[in-house]
Amino acid sequence: MCVYIASVCNRKHPPIITPILVYSLLISSFFVYSVFCFFLSCTLIFMASSSSPTSSPSEGSLSIVVERNPSASKLAELGIKSWPKWGCPPGQFPLKFDAEETCYLLKGKVKAYTKGSSDYVEFGAGDLVIIPKGLSCTWDVSIAVDKYYKFDCSSSAS
């Protein structure tokens, strides 16, 4: 990069072009470095979360329940709009549910793979989903998720 800048500086360019070229090269280098660091940090985070302890033996009997397009009256009865909201970008996210979660997806599309299995449950915008306490799974999010959710800490794994 230094040789290129020096050769450009030795040419007969108007004074403004040389600083612009140097600035462009610095910005390009910073962008490449930033992208590299982002992918490196994502890899390290994924590796750290993948090294969690093995799941409990009862996990095989746990399953996600999906209710497609529940009625407006059911959503009102559950008080969905008073629940907290959460969202995530597309990607893969290993998750462990320490409490039962009920969520209503406003946007998104997810394939939830149970830990240690190639089977998955697919759900998306407009679905009411119940995820049992004790379930470990990986969410493969193909379309960014926006959802209302609540945890039931009194639930027990059955």
CATH assignment of the domain containing 68: 2.60.120.10
| 19 or 139: which leads in pLDDT | 139
Domain shared by 10 and 86, yes or no? no
In terms of C-beta density within 10 A (0-12 exposed, 13-18 middle, 19 or more buried), how is residue 109 classed?
A: middle
Q: Which of 35, 50, 65 is the last residue of a domain?
A: 50
* Cα Rg of the chain, angstroms: 24
Amino acid at 13: H
Task: State pLDDT tens for residues 93-141.
Answer: 999 999 999 999 999 999 999 998 889 999 999 999 999 999 999 999 9
**Residue with the two structure tokens 């070229």:** 21
DSSP 28: H
Domain shared by 139 and 86, yes or no? yes
Q: How confident is the model at residue 2 (pLDDT cuts 50, 70, 90)?
A: very low
Stretch among 49-53, 117-121, 149-153 having the lowest mean pLDDT: 49-53
| 120 or 55: which leads in pLDDT | 120
Boundaries of domain holding 13:
2-50
| 55 or 143: which leads in pLDDT | 143
Domain shared by 45 and 72, yes or no? no
Domain shared by 77 and 17, yes or no? no
Please state, in angstroms and rounded to a whole number, the distance separating the CA atoms of residues 34 and 36: 5
What is the predicted pLDDT for the residue at 61? Answer: 62
Domain shared by 43 and 68, yes or no? no
Residue 33 predicted with pLDDT over 80: no
Question: Could you tell me if residue 32 is inside a domain?
Answer: yes
Domain shared by 73 and 46, yes or no? no
31-45: average pLDDT = 41
- The pTM is what? 0.59
Domain shared by 144 and 128, yes or no? yes
141-156: average pLDDT = 88
Question: Could you tell me if residue 88 is inside a domain?
Answer: yes
Question: Could you tell me if residue 119 is inside a domain?
Answer: yes
